[in-house]
Each structure stands twice: as C-alpha cells, then as structure tokens.
Structure 1
Amino acid sequence: MMIKAQVNDVVNWIIKKSEDDGQPVTPKKLQKMLYYSYAWGLVFLNESSNELDNKLFDTQFEAWVHGPVVPSIYRQFKSYGYGPIDKNIEYPHFDEETTKILNDVWEAYGHLNGDQLEYVTHQELPWRKKREGKQPGSPSDEKLSDADMFEYYGAQLI
C-alpha cells in the first residue's frame, strides 16, 4: 500500500491554503475539503475499485449528520465551533502528484463554504448510501466505502 501523506499534514495544507486565499476555513469546511481530497486521491492514484492500495492519506470517514467526518480531526478542531480555524502554520512539503491533487480539489471546491459543501456531500452516493434508513438527525459511525467513493467520483470524469 502506498500512502502519500499524513492526514494532519493535509489538514494543515487546507488550513494554510484557505488562509492564503482569504477564505478562513471552519471545522465543517475542513472536514469536507479533507473528504474530497481523499476521495479524489483514490480516483487519481488507483486504476480500479478492486485494488485501492494507493491513498492520499490513511483514514476512514464516517457518515455523520453533517456529512463525511474523520472523528479524530473533528475532536482536534471542535473548540472552534462554527468559527474559522485560526492556526499559524506553514505549508507541509508534498511530492508533485500530491500537491496537484490538493490544488485540483481546492480549485473545484475551495470557493464553497462549509454549509454549501455539506449540501453537496448530501446529494452524493457515498454518504447517502451509509445514511440509508437513518433519521436525518440521528448519529452514525458508519464508515464510507473507498470503493463507493472511487466508483462515484471516477464516473464524474467520464
């Protein structure tokens, strides 16, 4: 298995990028940007859903009420609530391929706020599939499927 980066380095990249673009990132937006980075990483780093050995970073997303979430990252930034994350950091160093994926995801989704990104994830199969049969406000620790992400987002390229 090839893991390109550490999840906390990608978190720091997203925070720094949002700060540089004058769009402070909230915990909700951070989670969704992290999710899209991971999902698109699966698409760009693998050939098929049968062999998803290459990942941008190693983690699992859960189908929470407000969309895909990495619980450990949620706990790390929970104190910011709905406010912007104010953390003085430098860009982590990544290889060219990782940087390209992160920049592409930022170009596609970075202009959206956390609520807009939540709305988008709620329309998409990977999250919806794991929320089937659950009440809208009920908690869930169902893990999103890497194969579902690969298939769903990969089909968007066609």
Structure 2
Amino acid sequence: MANSTTTQKLCNWFIQQSNARGHVLTPVKLNHLVILADWWHLHRTGGFLINERVEAWPSGPVLPSIYHEYKDQPPYSSIEHPSRRQPPLEEETDIIPFLEHIWNFY
C-alpha cells in the first residue's frame, strides 16, 4: 500500500471532509494535513503513504504539487472544491480509517 496514493487524492479526501463538516480548509492547512498523514503513516508502518517527497522551503515543509495546485489562491483562504485532475480515493481503500484519525486528531 505504501507509495500507492497520490498527493492529490489525499487532498481531495481532506477537502471533502472539510466541506462535509463545514470547516474552513486553507492551502496551508491542507499541505500540513497531507504531510502529517504521510509522516504518521511512515512512523506506524515504515512506509510512506504518498508518492511525493516533502521539500524544505524557507516557510517550512511543502509538498510541491499542493503549492502548484493552489498557488493562485491566497494561502489562508478557504478551498471550496477538490481538484478535478485526480479522482477521489476509492471508498473501499483501507487507509480511510487512518485518514479519519488524522482528520479528527488535527
């Protein structure tokens, strides 16, 4: 399962959770949630969750794909719609309970 999930699929899942629960999700918070999920997954299983590596930028850790997807949007404004470039996570995937834990914890 490690490295089989795209960053954008995780982004879509977190955006859908945010919209369903009426929470504001900004590009900065989305970046942090995906990174935290990847690092928690690495800690628990020994394998990365996503197929992209975090880069060290002056402003902190960044996933370039998230930056490029939302760079035209102010960093602290609400994301309303998931990307149409990637399909959402399949409902039967076994990482949904893990992502729900990350969402609820953070």
Contact 1:26 1:80 in 2 (8 A): no
> Structure 1 residue 64: deviation in Å?
2.3
Q: Which structure has the larger Rg over C-alpha atoms?
A: 1
Q: Where do residues 8-157 of structure 1 align in structure 2 (5 Å cutoff)?
A: 8-46=8-46, 54-81=47-74, 82-87=76-81, 91-93=88-90, 95-96=93-94, 98-109=95-106
TM-score (norm 2): 0.82
Using a 3 Å threshold, how does the CA distance of structure 1 residues 85 and 58 change in structure 2: closer, same or farther? same
RMSD over equivalenced CA pairs, Å: 2.1
Structure 1 unmatched runs, 5+: 47-53, 110-158
Deviations 1:46-81 (A, max 9, x none): 2xxxxxxx2211111122233211112101111221
1 or 2 for the larger relative contact order (CA 8 Å, sep ≥6)?
Answer: 2
TM-score (norm 1): 0.57
Q: Which has the higher helix share?
A: 1
Match for 2:34: what amino acid? L
> Percent of counterpart pairs with the same letter?
29
Using a 3 Å threshold, how does the CA distance of structure 1 residues 31 and 2 change in structure 2: closer, same or farther? closer
Distance (Å, rounded) in 2 between the aligned partners of 1:4 and 1:72: 16
Counterpart for residue 51 of structure 1: none
Structure 2 unmatched runs, 5+: none
